[in-house]
Amino acid sequence: MVKIAQFRKFGPAADMIELVERPDLPPPDGDQLLVKMLVMSINPADILTIEGDYGIKPELPNIPGAEGVGRVIEIGPAVKKLAVGDLVLPLGGGAWRENMMCRENTVIPLPKGIDIDQAAMIKANPATAEVMLTSMVTLEKGDWIIQNASNSAVGRFVIKLAKRKKLNVIAVVRRDNVIEMLKADGADVILVADEKTDPGKLGMEMRLHTGGALPKLALDAVGGYASNQLAKCLADGGHIVNYGLLSDEPCEVDPFDLVFRRIELKGFWLADWFKTATRDDILSMYGELIPLVTEGLISGAIEAKYSLDNVKQAVAHAAKPHRSGKILLTEPNISGGE
C-alpha cells in the first residue's frame, strides 16, 4: 500500500485534507517512471485549490501538490535518458503522495548533489519569476522594474534573478521590518506603501531614488489599489503584469494611464505558460534555474518540514499568515514538524 494526501470536498484546507492508503502502483510500462516522492512543497495555490477558491476547481477526490522532487525507483522499457536512482522534478500536479507514475517527457532531470529541499521549490515560484522577467517585455541591462509584495516567495526570487540579469529593482512592501532582508537580496530601492498611500506621491518618491528613471515592467501580486500605484510609477508604454490578488479586489488602473500613457495591464499564470511552452522552452527555462539552485545562488526560505503522515498539521501551518518561509512535506515516516 502507498500513502496519498487527498481531499473529497472543498472547504477549510486543514479540515478537508486527509491521508489515505491505496494499492501499490503497477510496474511502469513504456516510457513511464515510478517516482518515490522525497520532498513536496505547500504553496498558497494548493491551499486555495482545497478551499475551492483557485482559478480552477479539480474533479474530486483530488490529490493536491503542484511541486516536489522525487527519485526514480523503476523505469519502463522505453525510457531512454533516465535511470533508477535519478532525481527528477515532476511537472504534473498531484505531488502529495508517496509514489507517483510519470512519463519521461513530463519530468525535469536534476543533478546529483542538489539540495532536495530547494529542488522541491523550483517548479513554481522561481519559474514564475523567471518567465515574467523574460517573456513579458524586452528588458536590457540597466533597466528598472518595480514590484509589490516584494517579500513574498515569488517577490524575493524576482529580486535575486533580476540582479543576475543586471536589472535594477524597486521593491514595494507594506511594512518596514522586511527592508534589511530585501536589501540583502539585492533590491536597489525599497518603498513602503499600503492602501492609504497616494499613487502619485509614491511615484514621486520613487523618482527621487532612481534619479528620474522609470521602470518598463511592474509585477503585481496584490491587485486593487496596488495596481494603480504601480501604474503611476511606470514609464509611458509600460506593462503591469498581475499574477496574484492578495487584496481580494479587482485591479484598479486610472483610465488616463491606460489611454494617454498607453499603460498595459495583463495577467500571468504559470499553468497557462506550460500549456503553450514547448519541451525545449521548459528545459531552457529550468536550465537557467537549476544550476543557480545547485550552486546555492538562489534559494527559498523554509519555515518547517513535516512528514506526509502529518499532512493535516502541515497544511494548517501553511495556511497561517505572516510565515517566514515555505512549509515542506517529506516522505512518510520521516520525522518533522515545527
Q: Supply the DSSP string of 208-244, one letter for each residue.
A: HHHTT---SEEEESS-THHHHHHHHHSPTT-EEEE--
pLDDT tens-place string over residues 233-283: 999 999 999 999 899 899 999 999 999 999 999 999 999 999 999 999 999
Residue 155 CA to residue 237 CA, distance in Å, equals 23
Q: What is the pLDDT of residue 334?
A: 64
Domain ranges of the chain: 2-121+300-330, 129-271
Q: At what angle do helices 44-51 and 311-318 cross, to 10 degrees?
A: 100
Residue 199 CA to residue 194 CA, distance in Å, equals 10
Domain 129-271 classification at class level:
alpha beta
Active-site pick, 54, 225, 243, 306: 54
pLDDT tens-place string over residues 45-79: 999 999 999 988 999 999 999 999 999 999 999 99
Beta-bridge partners for 19: 5
Residue 15 CA to residue 51 CA, distance in Å, equals 10
pTM for this prediction? 0.92
Beta strands in 91-243 (DSSP E): 99-103, 107-110, 144-147, 168-173, 189-192, 217-220, 239-242
| DSSP label at residue 124 | T
What CATH architecture is 2-121+300-330? Alpha-Beta Complex (3.90)
Told to judge if 243 belongs to the known catalytic residues of this protein, a careful annotator would answer no
Residue 151 CA to residue 124 CA, distance in Å, equals 16
Cell digits for 64? 493536491
Residue 110 CA to residue 250 CA, distance in Å, equals 39
Which parts of the chain have pLDDT scores under 50? 338
Q: What is the pLDDT of residue 293?
A: 95
Domains 2-121+300-330 and 129-271 share a fold: no
Contact indicator for 169, 191 with CB cutoff of 8 Å: no
Helix (H) or strand (E) holding 132: helix 125-135
